[in-house]
Amino acid sequence: MHVVVAGASGRTGRFVVEQALAAGHRVTAIVRDSGPTTGRRASSCSGLRW
């Protein structure tokens, strides 16, 4: 499944992204600020900025 998470850099969004990736889903993360990200989120999902 392809999951799109708006607010992926926020407290809840980070949790949703981690859970979706752990379940094997493809994730597109939508964030306001693309500041430094590390770990699995940064390497396993595509991202959109505005």
For the segment 6-32, what is each residue's pLDDT rounded down to a tens digit? 998 889 999 999 999 999 999 998 887
The tally of domains found in the chain comes to 1
Counting every residue written for the chain, the total comes to: 50
Q: At residue 22, what are phi and psi to the nearest 5 degrees?
A: -65, -30
pLDDT at 50 (0 to 100): 47
Q: Of the candidates 16, 20, 22, which has an alpha carbon nearest to the alpha carbon of residue 31? A: 16
d(CA 27, CA 9): 13
pLDDT at 41 (0 to 100): 54
Amino acid at 20: A
Arithmetic mean of pLDDT, 37-44: 54
d(CA 37, CA 25): 19
Model pTM? 0.66
Domain that holds residue 22: 2-49
pLDDT at 30 (0 to 100): 87
Q: Which residues contact 34 (CB under 8 A, 6 or more apart)?
A: 47, 49
